[in-house]
Amino acid sequence: MARPYICLLALAAMLLLGIATISRSRGLRDKAHQSAPRIPSQFSQEERVAMKEALKGAIQIPTVSFSPKELNTTALAEFGEYIRKVFPTVFKTSFIRHEVVGEYSHLFTVHGSDPSLQPYMLLAHIDVVPAPDEGWDVPPFSGLERNGFIYGRGTIDNKNSLMGILQALELLLIRNYIPRRSFFIALGHDEEVMGVNGAQKISALLQARGVQLAFIVDEGSFIFDGFIPGLKNPFAILEQTPMPNMFGDGPMKMALQELANEFSFPTNLFLSNMWLFRPLVSRLMERNYITNALVRTTTALTMFNSGIKVNVIPAVAQAIVDFRIHPAQTVQEVLKLAKDIVADDRVQFHVLNAFDPPPISPYDDQALGYQLLRQTIQSVFPEVNIVVPGTCVGNTDSRHYSNLTTGIYLFNPLYLQPQSFRFVHGINERISVQAYERQVKFIFEFIQDADTDPRPVPHLHEL
């Protein structure tokens, strides 16, 4: 997930439809009605060892994006060689076309047997943010395993997805799998620094070929465990003049209503009677720094420069502000609000880089991508009993693909506890070996689910 640093009064935000889920135990649902014989997602001991070793090897290649012009191209090239070595079947299968785009990004076109089915796309990225050694229990590019966890930069953002996708495909191909529905795998190499040479070029290539996608699945959201109950732990808001609370616009309100029954008294009462308790729920969401980002445009002063010498009064001061825009607002609205709050003619505003939040992806009964994800989540994570649409705060490469589809879903099949949130771009980023195996299993199942018609949806309220 990218965090742009390069914005002068920048309005950079991305709130796509993600999928939030909450865990609670509940049995397996009815099995999908399937046409092709299903390949069970069971892996041998040898395969499981090879799987985690492949991830460790990927972590050891320091594919760092320092800035849009400063990427470790040696590492990016090495990474291209590495995936050829660890996933030989993917590269030699006749119905898979592999192309290198923008020098270091990779596009795989997996041709399905039924051209009448609209293709979909899986996204992941090769690059990672920098990781100075300080504070890490093990060196950040060592890929060392400790107490069942693989440590290193990229273990959850986003080499887990990248390696998981190719690994699942490799294992399916070894089992002679032939997909019915075509799909693309796009691996960008500069996602952390805007994706201009990777994702943007892949998207242009596919647009030139006239490709239209049923949906896209990218990193972004997780299986949230303990996030909303976390509302009990208030967190100070540092902003003096925050942007207006937009709670009630966008999928968040619906998600909370769907989740109402999952909570004990009195939260369930509040959530299922939003007509009355909306202001209260909205205030509660504001009090936690994570949920706060879901109800309003967030404002972060990331850089401030003034002065050149201790005994010279500076003539100019310059500040860089990074906004993440709520889906119900636009760049222009946020800019106007900021100007009104500052209300000082001496301050000039320059937009360094900005894009409006994309439209909300469909999540109704007919939304293929959403329903397939639901189905796979419920079979691979049977303890998760509710899948709800959500809002994802953060940028991903997916924004470059908005011309190719209306359905962009951000979901990483991993548990995320509030305390793990800081691993993303932080120190001691890590993934448990078990969680990674489950991620591979998820993709293995998902690719097969995409070949079947999604089963009829049980209505959420009946759960």
Ligand X SMILES: *[C@@H]1O[C@H](CO)[C@@H](O)[C@H](O)[C@H]1NC(C)=O
Known catalytic residues? 127, 191
If phi > 0 it is left, if psi is from -120 to 50 it is alpha, else beta; for residue 162 that is alpha
Annotate 340-383 with DSSP letters as a single string.
HHH--TT------SEEPPPPPPP-STT-HHHHHHHHHHHHH-TT
Is the Cβ of residue 74 or residue 273 nearer to ligand X in the bound state?
Answer: 74
Is the Cβ of residue 372 or residue 408 nearer to ligand X in the bound state?
Answer: 408
Stretch that binds ligand X, among 58-66, 285-293, 338-346, 372-380 (CB under 6 A): 58-66
The DSSP H or E segment spanning 384 is strand 384-393
Q: Is 246 in the site for ligand X (CB under 6 A)?
A: no
Stretch that binds ligand X, among 51-59, 259-267, 330-338, 399-407 (CB under 6 A): 399-407
Q: Is 188 in the site for ligand X (CB under 6 A)?
A: no
Min. distance of Cβ 396 from ligand X in angstroms? Answer: 13
The total of other beta-carbon atoms located within 10 Å of residue 319's CB is 13
**Region 400-419 residues binding ligand X, contact defined as CB under 6 A:** 400, 402-403
Min. distance of Cβ 229 from ligand X in angstroms? Answer: 38
List C-alpha distances in Å: 100 to 76, 114, 320.
12, 26, 35
Min. distance of Cβ 14 from ligand X in angstroms? Answer: 13
Q: Is 377 in the site for ligand X (CB under 6 A)?
A: no
Min. distance of Cβ 139 from ligand X in angstroms? Answer: 12
Stretch that binds ligand X, among 29-37, 59-67, 82-90, 159-167 (CB under 6 A): 59-67
Stretch that binds ligand X, among 57-65, 182-190, 271-279, 361-369 (CB under 6 A): 57-65
Span between the terminal Cα atoms of the chain, in Å: 32
Min. distance of Cβ 194 from ligand X in angstroms? Answer: 12
Min. distance of Cβ 202 from ligand X in angstroms? Answer: 10
Is the Cβ of residue 125 or residue 400 nearer to ligand X in the bound state?
Answer: 400
Nearest-angstrom CA–CA distance, 193 and 230: 31
Residue with tokens 């099995």, as numbered in its chain: 31
Min. distance of Cβ 334 from ligand X in angstroms? Answer: 20
Nearest-angstrom CA–CA distance, 447 and 121: 10
Any bridge partners for residue 185, and if so which? 108, 122
How many residues line the site for ligand X (CB under 6 A)? 11
Is the Cβ of residue 279 or residue 359 nearer to ligand X in the bound state?
Answer: 359
**Which of 105, 161, 203, 428 touches ligand X (CB under 6 A)?**
203
Rg (CA), the chain: 22
Is the Cβ of residue 75 or residue 117 nearer to ligand X in the bound state?
Answer: 75
Q: Is 197 in the site for ligand X (CB under 6 A)?
A: no
Peptide bond before 140: cis, by omega within 30 degrees of 0?
no
Residue 92 CB partners (closer than 8 Å, separation 6+): none
Is the Cβ of residue 74 or residue 212 nearer to ligand X in the bound state?
Answer: 74
What string marks each residue from 60 to 79 as x (binds ligand X by CB under 6 A) or -?
-xx-x-------x-xx--x-
Is the Cβ of residue 21 or residue 203 nearer to ligand X in the bound state?
Answer: 203
What string marks each residue from 76 to 95 as x (binds ligand X by CB under 6 A) or -?
--x-----------------
Annotate 266-289 with DSSP letters as a single string.
THHHHHHTHHHHHHHHHHHHHTSH
Is the Cβ of residue 64 or residue 256 nearer to ligand X in the bound state?
Answer: 64
Annotate 78-136 with DSSP letters as a single string.
HHHHHHHHH-HHHHH-TTEEEEEETTTEEEEEE--S-TTSPPEEEEEES-B----STT-
Largest CA distance in the chain: 78
Q: Is 241 in the site for ligand X (CB under 6 A)?
A: no
Residue 161 CB partners (closer than 8 Å, separation 6+): 123, 124, 219, 412, 439
Min. distance of Cβ 205 from ligand X in angstroms? Answer: 11
Residue pair 329/357 in contact by the 8 Å Cβ criterion: yes
Nearest-angstrom CA–CA distance, 389 and 408: 12
Q: Which residues bind ligand X (CB under 6 A)?
A: 61-62, 64, 72, 74-75, 78, 203, 400, 402-403
